[in-house]
Chain A
């Protein structure tokens, strides 16, 4: 175990907790302050918070692994697809922020339920968000456990690693709420960016230079520098599907949705949109390059092996303490996602369930305390998932999160823009979309039915059509 690496990591966790204490001192001890920082987050913090929350452990490990298998074209679907998604900050974020400020909304389901005057729709919207987000918090704990085991050469077990990461996240979210979440995101976002750029520098130098690494890759693995890529993965249909997937699903991540509520003004959201293109261009290129270059040093990895290619490559060309700092960057990525997910799920259960059904007269102070208790409860639940072996359900939910959440997109757009939309149309849209997706996922429907596109394309067509058709058919009866 390298003591320098462990010390850097310990100092990093200490700084997170110090930021939480600072945030707590600035907080108003109300639910609005705890969950959306009293709608006071300025442009720079909001931008870094959106970015850090959006980029998770998957950005470090998953993208590098995918590029190892499928090649550099993976950069296209991730970088441009996510960059273009930021246009939703205008056509969704602006409206969500305005309504949140005007009507005091704190959770996504509050806006939807209130707009369509339907508790049932509010609960359905809430259920979809919770079901597809909770397993993702567990994923971050699992990532933390694995990374801490690597950092300590196996002296800290995976289980203890997952517990340590969860405890630190719970501590700073419980202490400082959204304010601590956003402030720590700033440090975590910067750390992520710096460590990824440093990793590219270290690995490319080890391979003989940046140009040399790319030239060797093109000569030795020509299939990895163009489409259709490794395993003939990229077809025009798959390419188009991914470009659309991020546009539909990213704004429906509850942890991103509520960030629009927390913005101080429209200018903050606007700046975040402008800066999203360059940040995605840089952040996504780093793991994709290292992953593809990984074939030069460690050819033939199979199974889950490619997902370890980034730490393997850095470890190959840098001393252990440098790898420790790189892993701290990975921690930054996963913790900045997990903290936001915990907080938003807590806010939804507090406002949409507890305040709506259990204690309607709960004060902001009361909600604030319940919210903190729920953060602890949800963290324990996700930790239990991470440490247990309920793999079938867990894997299914994590694999289906993106499309499962994208189904909520037509309902959200209709809530903001279409006056004739109603609760029946939205319910039909969500149920039809999720059922169709389940049909594809579990093989009830043949994959050929999607015409080579990912399921998200037919699912979104059906969900949108159901919303329009049912709303029009029932509009006079409601």
Chain B
């Protein structure tokens, strides 16, 4: 697993996939309410932001380690 997380192509695919998911044309006019009455689009983007945070965490832990600082 950690070998996969050190592969640049894995990260290229992961971030590209997240970007494609953010375009979200397949649910363009969805408006149904979710948690706290927030509409789908707000919750969906918040979930993507959560995914982005996790990706950044793993990226900084396993891939962006070389070079300066105390990395």
Q: From the candidates A210, A227, A267, name the one contacting B28 in the complex (CB within 8 A).
A: A227
A86, A210, A211, A214 — which one has the most chain B CB atoms within 10 A of its CB?
Answer: A214
B33 touches A218 (CB 8 A): yes
A243 touches B37 (CB 8 A): no
Q: From the candidates A222, A239, A267, name the one contacting B31 in the complex (CB within 8 A).
A: A222
Let me know if A206 is at the binding interface, CB within 8 A: no
**Complex CA–CA separation, A393 to B50 (angstroms):** 41
Within 8 A of B (CB), among A255-304: 264-268, 270-271, 273-274, 276-278, 280-281, 285
Residue of B nearest to A225 (CB): B39
Expressed in whole angstroms, the minimum distance between the Cβ of A285 and any Cβ of chain B is 7
Let me know if B38 is at the binding interface, CB within 8 A: yes
**Complex CA–CA separation, A211 to B42 (angstroms):** 13
Interface of B is mostly: helix
Interface of A is mostly: helix
Interface size on A, residues (CB 8 A): 47
B29 touches A273 (CB 8 A): no
B56 touches A266 (CB 8 A): no
B36 to chain A: which residues have CB within 8 Å? 210-211, 214
Expressed in whole angstroms, the minimum distance between the Cβ of B22 and any Cβ of chain A is 5
A213 touches B64 (CB 8 A): no
**Complex CA–CA separation, A83 to B37 (angstroms):** 24
Residue of A nearest to B55 (CB): A277
A273 touches B56 (CB 8 A): yes
A73 to chain B: which residues have CB within 8 Å? 41
Segment of A74-82, A133-141, A162-170 engaged in the interface with chain B: A74-82
Within 8 A of A (CB), among B5-51: 15, 18-19, 22-25, 28-31, 33, 36-42, 44-46, 48-50
Given contacts A90-B64, A274-B60, A280-B49, contact A211 B41 (CB under 8 A): no
B22 touches A80 (CB 8 A): yes
Given contacts A213-B37, A226-B40, contact A76 B69 (CB under 8 A): no
Residue of A nearest to B45 (CB): A76
Top 6 nearest A-B pairs by Cβ distance? A265-B69, A214-B37, A226-B31, A225-B39, A267-B69, A281-B49
